[in-house]
Structure 1
Amino acid sequence: MLRNGLEPWHLIIVLVVCLLLFGSKKLPDMARSLGKSARILKSEARAMRGEDGTRPETRPETPAA
C-alpha cells in the first residue's frame, strides 16, 4: 500500500500548499517561532535533569543538615 512512502514531489506539493495558505511573509515568522519553542523546550528539559547533566533519580542524595 505505502511502498514508497514520501516521494520528492509529495514534499513539493506540501510546500506549495503551505505557501498558498500562509503566504510568503508569514512562513519565516512561523519558522522562527517554532525554533524559539524548540529552544525553550530543550532548556526546560535540561533544567529538569539538573545542571550537572544527570537525571534527578540518579543523583546521589545529600543528607539534610
Structure 2
Amino acid sequence: MIGNLKPLEIILIIAVILLLFGAKKLPEMARSLGKSARILKSEAKAMKKDGEAEDAATAGPAADQTAAAPKTIQAAPGDVTSSRPVTEPNRTAQG
C-alpha cells in the first residue's frame, strides 16, 4: 500500500503529522517508541531463553528413559521371529 504513494502525498502526510503533534513532541515520541522496541526485544529474548531452558530440562529425563529401554537385535530386516532382547552390562566406575 505504501508503494502506491507518490512523493507529494508522503510530504503531505508528514506535514499533517507535524501540525498535529508539533515539532517539540516528535523527538520525545520517537524516544519512547525506541524504548518500547528495546523492551519488547529484550523480553522476547528472555522468553526464548526460558523456553530453551524448559526444553532442555524436559528433554533430559526423556533421553534417559529411552536409553534404559531394552534393545532388540534382529537376525534379518523384517524377521521378527528370531529377534531377541539384549541386556547390556551396567557400566559403573571402579576405582
The TM-score, its normalising length taken from structure 2, stands at: 0.51
What is the match of residue 56 of structure 1? 52
What is the match of residue 34 of structure 2? 35
Q: Provide the rounded CA distance (Å) in 2 between the counterparts of 1:25 and 1:58.
A: 46
Overall identity of the aligned pairs, in %: 55
Q: Structure 2 regions of 5+ residues with no counterpart?
A: 62-95
Structure (1/2) with the larger strand percentage: 2
Q: Provide the rounded CA distance (Å) in 2 between the counterparts of 1:6 and 1:58.
A: 47
The amino acid across from 1:28 in the alignment is P
Q: Provide the rounded CA distance (Å) in 2 between the counterparts of 1:38 and 1:47.
A: 14
Question: How many residues align structurally?
Answer: 58
Q: Given the alignment of the two structures, is residue 14 of structure 1 paired with residue 17 of structure 2, yes or no?
A: no
Tell me which stretches of 4 or more aligned residues in structure 1 moved more than 3 Å: 55-59
Q: Provide the rounded CA distance (Å) in 2 between the counterparts of 1:9 and 1:58.
A: 52
What is the match of residue 5 of structure 1? 4
Indicate how the Cα distance of structure 1 residues 38 and 32 shifts in structure 2: closer, same or farther if over 3 A, else same: same
Q: Structure 1 regions of 5+ residues with no counterpart?
A: none
Q: Provide the rounded CA distance (Å) in 2 between the counterparts of 1:13 and 1:57.
A: 50
Q: Provide the rounded CA distance (Å) in 1 between the counterparts of 2:26 and 2:53.
A: 41
Q: Provide the rounded CA distance (Å) in 1 between the counterparts of 2:43 and 2:52.
A: 14
